[in-house]
Structure 1
């Protein structure tokens, strides 16, 4: 897993200087009275808002095109570079590092059943080349206090050789949520994430790679309240915190990052499809909801 860790550390060490300003008119939201989720249509329909309906405080970070809850895949070296750094084939849902947006192909929202669908042609992160060979879709649904997001990527490009650790998905949280927890054999584990200081290319000591046997992770505040992320069938994860200039909030330079990981190679005809669940609450509530959801899914699979 060291490959993906070195890539995301390099990514963060440079992108913290590339803030984007978005238009409020480009955002679309779903709100079921319990939770609220929002996507930025000008940046690949990426998820950049998640909060409680009553407070409408955004617990995510969308400082630049790379910092969203979104799809991003890694392939072979392609001779590209960005911001002076050698890079690889990397279609990103939100667009390129120099703010070239992905192309929205389809967008539908149904407020009655709290669902939203989008389809985009992504761009390579480094070169901004369009990626018609890696069409990405997402289907968002809200039910009670949980948001379910189904991501799909159909790849029709050339075969790649390198097996990569892939983000399932990339998740960027408000840097104010500093404490990282995961579940191991049903028990809560708290470890300090790897720290990346502004301008640094190497992280300070901390957890950079791990395994959550219960398949969920969370970022919370000092009161153990925050955001939980659950990708069924995905135990490995990579995690770090970027200090930036210290500013927190949705567009702050500081952020808390985590990504569940799966390992595979991009091959022609590959279809990637998975669902991630997100919720907001106390650590105890997050754990209880995801355990209940996992038990329900296990029963359905046995039928």
Structure 2
């Protein structure tokens, strides 16, 4: 296994025993159809997404590494995650031992949530003052849209490696990964249905979306325009929003973080059956073209 893929494998192996409470300071945006929550104690990372009036939260937030959140990788920096050699790794949520990222700004209106933060080096534990992470959340009908921005004003030239855009951690109770991997995207072709194993497995998603679906045939999908490759796995453990089991994927692109680096992208979230998720994302795609 490559060192790059090892990053994604290790990202889920949490040392949670010393963690302070995650998602104890939160803010929600809701519109009568869906509800999305951010953890203000973890850089505004997204820890909650559910249907209203009483649908369950489908995201996992067992520790500060497990959210829908920004995460980037750079050069080896001498830091250690437990006894593992690690690298420069700004994470929106915080340090692996529980130290939170630093919130700089937060705003909420009737239609939008905005947060700005300084990320933490995942293994090193220091605030990365040369970095800023921003996030805008809006809801329209039953779809949530999240726009992310990462800014780097440091002096170091980091190598080109896979970047999570973003990391997505869902409930272990959603086992089936559904996506389209054929060569005729958006033509109505059959969807692939697979249960990822451990460790990481790469998959091509030519319609630029993927979903985890539960036994009842419903789950949550993420549309990530502009990216066709994901890394994915299932980490065995108890289900539930705070359970140590999780269903993970991340859209990935290879990028080098160099002085003046800026990256901005959007994703869309939808709860439903695979067919409903695909239809909703197809409508969004049609409007964005």
**TM-score by structure 2 length?**
0.94
Q: Which residue is equivalent to 2:144?
A: 147
Taking a change above 3 Å as real, the CA distance of residues 254 and 17 of structure 1, as seen in their structure-2 partners, is farther
CA offsets, 1:62-94, max 9 Å, x none? 000000100010000001111111000001000
Aligned with 2:243 (options 252, 257, 263): 252
- Mapped partners of 1:218, 1:18: distance in 2: 32
Q: Which residue is equivalent to 1:220?
A: 213
| Equivalent pair of 1:19/1:63 in contact (CA under 8 Å) | no
- Mapped partners of 1:282, 1:23: distance in 2: 28
Q: Any gaps of 5 or more consecutive residues in structure 1?
A: 196-202, 299-303
Q: Report how far residue 11 of structure 1 moved.
A: 2.6
1:33-52 equivalences under 5 Å are: 33-52=32-51
Aligned with 2:281 (options 267, 284, 290): 290
Q: Report how far residue 33 of structure 1 moved.
A: 0.6
**TM-score by structure 1 length?**
0.90
Q: Report how far residue 129 of structure 1 moved.
A: 0.8
1:170 partner SS: strand
The range that moved more, 172-181 or 4-13, is 4-13
How many residues of Structure 1 are paired with residues of Structure 2 in the alignment?
283
| Equivalent pair of 1:117/1:139 in contact (CA under 8 Å) | yes
Moved over 6 A (4+): none
1:290 partner SS: helix
- Mapped partners of 1:78, 1:192: distance in 2: 35
| Equivalent pair of 1:3/1:165 in contact (CA under 8 Å) | no
CA offsets, 1:191-235, max 9 Å, x none? 22122xxxxxxx3xxx70011010000001012210000110010
- Mapped partners of 1:182, 1:3: distance in 2: 26
Q: Report how far residue 294 of structure 1 moved.
A: 0.8
The range that moved more, 1-10 or 31-40, is 1-10
1:15-54 equivalences under 5 Å are: 15=15, 19-22=19-22, 24=24, 26-54=25-53
Q: Which residue is equivalent to 1:238?
A: 231
2:129 partner SS: coil
| Equivalent pair of 1:3/1:164 in contact (CA under 8 Å) | no
| Equivalent pair of 1:105/1:121 in contact (CA under 8 Å) | yes
Q: Any gaps of 5 or more consecutive residues in structure 2?
A: none
Taking a change above 3 Å as real, the CA distance of residues 231 and 88 of structure 1, as seen in their structure-2 partners, is same
Q: CA RMSD in A?
A: 1.6
| Equivalent pair of 1:20/1:63 in contact (CA under 8 Å) | no
Taking a change above 3 Å as real, the CA distance of residues 265 and 51 of structure 1, as seen in their structure-2 partners, is same
CA offsets, 1:152-178, max 9 Å, x none? 011111233421100010000011001
- Mapped partners of 2:196, 2:241: distance in 1: 20
1:141 partner SS: strand
